[in-house]
Amino acid sequence: MSLFDEEPRRKIVHDIGQDLSLLSVAELDERIVQLRSEIKRLEEERSRKGDSKVAAEALFR
């Protein structure tokens, strides 16, 4: 297998509020997928923190 068979995946950085006019439809779709994934990750973390808070409050009652 050659080193040139696959291009390395570049990490896309999205800045909230950035100009989107120069992005292609494919680039917009890729960012939407990544942002939805990040939203899911944030919601899961918020849920874990909420569960920890409820457990701590129950412990100290």
Distance of alpha carbon 19 from alpha carbon 8, whole angstroms:
25
**Mean pLDDT along residues 8-32:** 89
* Residue 53: per-residue pLDDT: 74
Give this prediction's pTM. Answer: 0.64
Residue 50's domain spans which residues? 22-60
**Mean pLDDT along residues 10-26:** 89
Would residue 13 count as lying in a domain? no
Residue type, 53: K
Would residue 14 count as lying in a domain? no
Q: In total, how many domains does the chain have?
A: 1
Would residue 5 count as lying in a domain? no
